[in-house]
């Protein structure tokens, strides 16, 4: 057990801080210093090394002391927000970008189409159903009346095969936990039972609508698969699968398109080297059988009839697709139908109209190719510009499918696509008004510290001058095999419309070039992610886009760790940093909330060899007093039950006390929002205003509207 000692220094009360900050702010007025934070040093001895933690007390989210500190920080941050030059003009443009009519891609069963819609003056998405593709939209679930603050959001969790039952989620703020409710689609009546708020890794309604399968997770027991029959007590639900797996292991489920087979997936952490697949006959019942559990690789299956099409990186770092017979599932009978590629990564696939529709990523650009069940090419779907195709979905026994296309300068368009004829039509197009013709989108490549070639997307207005003085922002992630592809960003739009340069860097740790790209920044190699970011920044400087006094970086979650490392390792390289819902105290991340899942990506400070390299880069442990740090905006909220908000709280206090510059260190802390979205549109505009205004103010952007 760690040894501890305590040292205490008094803290200002929230009331005193409010009085101190009252009247401060407004354009042209000098802003006061940040709130003083109590120092209460805890010293942990880890593997013989003494680690001081002066702000451990801020880990207690519900203590009166922490709540007073949060209130004081928000007062201080708002004093800066009110002083933003051009604030009203920025807010007006954000209203135009966010407050628009929205329609999602549909899910469908027979002639019933289920979709989300939100009118320009609404805060949350509403679940609708229409009979026929062009039928009248009928409201199924509207969350607006559930909460006067409009912080309750809804989501479609499962739809029965006949389209008669809808399982939908209710989420409060941005919490990870959700309630699951069941609606009779015909009568619009609730079934009278629901699943209480918890973490669920899948819910599937049985083919005959008599009940449902679900994966329930708790941080003490872990994931377990149960079956619930409608009308019975959940306490009596039989346990089907998962016994013996610990909290660090995820057990999920998926029902085949015809409802015949229930697939069960065992995932060894968010970035485990392998996962196992099992299945059971969901119609006849019987024993759970093994599809694969003896290979150190990843497998994702999609079942139609008695065949399982499996995307795997087994002997294929860029992935391949194999097929297994569910009646003879042993892998010695598996066959390869679509081989791996040297250049392109298979990101996913769908089974539509008797064909295999495969989504590739080649040099971080989307490509979709179509094959017959034996893997023979049947054509391809090309994007209209440099951008991202996503969400291509459909049914094996029907030719109809839908997909979305988006790019930095092109808001989302949803297409209805016929895989048999290749014909397509626009199903819905975003109503956002932007001047796409005046935007330049290009991909550049640069050399990282070790010589690795890394790509980056660069977006700006056509009249940009390469004079080395343009306000520039790099957004990055670099982790968990997640690929950063072109997307439509309202922040990027606003930034570029006002003379800025917006960049998306494809750092190692992501999945842009397959599992090898991911592994190149896991565990002891995590520093590669950070070095890639610094190389991206240097390329922009060397090529006269910007200079360190005009350069910002931003990232969230794992990307918050990336920019957290940047602000502590290379404070000279950036003028401003936006760090949202971040991981920052890497010696303690695995001790709270969903942290145990991520030890398969980072390692754990509990292990001596892993502690050594984690301690070298962990942002919280590497803040140095007196360093001239850039301006920093931390963003988090109480309802983040994925990444503990304590990371941002502690880091804000640490950097406010340590910085040797006059650049502001701010914390924007929402007492109702969290990691998983659900923020009402009206509130979202205000939250983005805080970030954009911070960026504009600290990079010297002149608002041109």
Which sequence positions are flagged as catalytic?
557, 675
Report whether 652 contacts 669 (CB < 8 A).
Answer: no
**Size of the chain, expressed as the number of residues it contains:** 705
For 100, which DSSP code?
A: S
- The angle formed by the CA atoms of residues 613, 655 and 25, to the nearest 5 degrees, is 155
- Helix H or strand E segment including 692: helix 681-699
Closest to 520 (Cα-Cα) out of 599, 590, 342, 512: 512
Q: What distances in angstroms separate CA 349 from CA 300, 338, 341, 342, one per listed residue?
A: 10, 11, 15, 18
Pair type for strands 355-362 and 365-371: antiparallel
Report whether 509 contacts 537 (CB < 8 A).
Answer: no
Q: What distances in angstroms separate CA 188 from CA 155, 157, 159, 183, one per listed residue?
A: 16, 17, 14, 6
Task: Provide the angle, in degrees to the nearest 10, between the axes of the packed helices 64-81 and 14-21.
Answer: 10
- Helix H or strand E segment including 647: helix 646-658
How many CB atoms are closer than 10 A to CB 258? 16
Our measurement of the distance from residue 601's CA atom to the centroid of its chain's CA atoms, rounded to an integer in Å, reads 16
Closest to 97 (Cα-Cα) out of 430, 413, 504, 319: 430
- Alpha-carbon span 363 to 512, nearest angstrom: 7
Strand, helix or coil for residue 165: strand
- Alpha-carbon span 112 to 106, nearest angstrom: 10
- Alpha-carbon span 217 to 223, nearest angstrom: 4
- Alpha-carbon span 412 to 431, nearest angstrom: 9
- Alpha-carbon span 242 to 264, nearest angstrom: 9
Residue whose token pair is 């593997």? 47
- The angle formed by the CA atoms of residues 571, 572 and 575, to the nearest 5 degrees, is 80
Buried b (16+ CB within 10 A) or exposed e, 110-134: eebbbbbbbeeebbbbbbbbbeeee
- E-assigned strand segments in 382-516: 388-394, 400-407, 410-418, 424-429, 439-447, 453-461, 472-476, 501-505
Positive or negative, the CA dihedral 688, 115, 408, 581 is positive
Our measurement of the distance from residue 630's CA atom to the centroid of its chain's CA atoms, rounded to an integer in Å, reads 25
Our measurement of the distance from residue 317's CA atom to the centroid of its chain's CA atoms, rounded to an integer in Å, reads 23
Q: How far apart are the first and last CA of the chain?
A: 59
Which tokens belong to 388?
């991202």
Residue whose token pair is 């006949």? 162
Pair type for strands 631-637 and 576-580: parallel
- φ/ψ of residue 450, rounded to 5: -95, 10
């Amino acid at each position: 057990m760690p040894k501890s000692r305590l040292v205490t220094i008094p803290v200002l009360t929230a009331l005193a801080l409010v009085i101190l900050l009252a009247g401060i702010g407004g354009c042209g007025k000098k802003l006061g210093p940040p709130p003083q934070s109590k120092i209460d040093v805890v010293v942990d001895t880890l593997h013989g090394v003494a680690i001081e933690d002066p702000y451990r007390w801020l880990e207690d989210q519900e203590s009166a002391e922490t709540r007073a500190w949060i209130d004081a920080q928000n007062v201080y941050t708002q004093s800066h927000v009110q002083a933003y030059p051009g604030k009203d003009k920025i807010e007006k443009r954000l209203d135009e970008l966010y407050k628009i009519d929205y329609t999602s891609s549909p899910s469908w069963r027979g002639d019933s189409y289920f979709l989300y819609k939100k009118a320009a003056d609404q805060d949350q998405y509403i679940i609708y159903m229409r009979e026929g593709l062009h039928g009248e939209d009928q409201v199924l679930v509207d969350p607006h009346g559930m909460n006067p603050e409009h912080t309750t959001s809804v989501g479609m969790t499962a739809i029965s095969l006949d389209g008669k039952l809808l399982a939908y989620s209710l989420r409060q703020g941005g919490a990870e936990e959700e309630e699951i409710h069941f609606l009779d689609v015909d009568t619009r009546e609730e079934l009278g039972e629901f699943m209480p708020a918890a973490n669920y890794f899948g819910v599937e309604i049985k083919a005959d609508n008599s009940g449902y399968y679900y994966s329930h997770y708790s941080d003490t027991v872990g994931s377990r698969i149960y079956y619930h029959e409608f009308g019975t007590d959940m306490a009596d639900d039989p346990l089907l699968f998962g016994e013996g797996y610990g909290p660090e292991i995820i057990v999920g489920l998926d029902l085949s398109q015809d409802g015949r087979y229930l697939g069960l997936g065992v995932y060894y952490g968010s970035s485990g080297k392998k996962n196992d697949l099992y299945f059971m006959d969901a119609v006849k019942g019987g024993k759970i059988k093994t599809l694969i559990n003896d290979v150190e690789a990843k497998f994702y299956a999609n079942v139609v009839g008695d065949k399982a099409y499996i995307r795997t990186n087994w002997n294929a770092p860029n992935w391949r697709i194999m097929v297994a017979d569910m009646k003879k599932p042993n892998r010695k009978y598996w066959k390869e139908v679509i081989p791996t590629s040297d250049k392109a990564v298979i990101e996913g696939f769908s089974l539509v109209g008797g064909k295999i529709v495969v989504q590739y990523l080649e040099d971080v650009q989307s490509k979709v190719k179509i094959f017959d069940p034996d893997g023979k090419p049947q054509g391809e779907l090309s994007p209209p510009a440099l951008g991202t195709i996503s969400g291509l979905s459909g049914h094996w026994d029907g030719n109809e499918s839908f997909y979305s296309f988006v790019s930095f300068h092109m808001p989302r368009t949803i297409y209805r696509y016929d895989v048999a004829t290749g014909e397509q039509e626009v199903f819905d197009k975003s109503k956002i008004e932007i001047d796409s013709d005046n935007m330049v989108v290009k991909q550049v490549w640069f050399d990282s510290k070790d010589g690795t070639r890394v790509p980056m997307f660069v977006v700006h207005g056509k009249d940009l001058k390469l004079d080395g003085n343009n306000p520039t922002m790099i957004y990055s992630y670099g982790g968990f095999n997640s690929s950063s592809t072109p997307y439509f960003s309202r922040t990027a739009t606003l930034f570029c419309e006002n003379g800025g340069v917006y960049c998306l860097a494809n750092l190692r740790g992501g999945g842009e070039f397959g599992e090898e790209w991911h592994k190149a920044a896991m565990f002891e190699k995590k520093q590669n992610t950070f070095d890639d970011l610094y190389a991206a920044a240097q390329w922009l400087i060397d090529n006269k886009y910007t200079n360190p006094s005009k350069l910002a970086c931003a990232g969230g979650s794992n990307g918050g760790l990336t920019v957290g490392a940047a602000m502590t390792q290379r404070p000279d390289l950036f003028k401003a940093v936006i760090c949202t819902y971040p991981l920052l105290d890497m010696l303690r991340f695995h001790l709270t909330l969903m942290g145990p899942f991520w030890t398969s990506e980072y390692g754990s400070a509990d292990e001596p060899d892993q502690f050594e390299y984690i301690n070298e880069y962990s942002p919280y442990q590497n803040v140095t007093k007196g360093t001239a740090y850039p301006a920093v905006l931390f963003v988090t909220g109480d309802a983040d039950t994925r990444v503990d908000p304590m990371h941002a709280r502690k880091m804000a206090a640490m950097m406010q006390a340590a910085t040797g510059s006059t650049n502001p260190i701010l914390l924007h802390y929402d007492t109702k929002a969290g990691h998983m979205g659900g923020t009402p549109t009206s509130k979202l505009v205000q939250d983005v205003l805080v970030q954009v205004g911070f960026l504009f103010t600290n990079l010297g952007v002149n608002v041109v509207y």
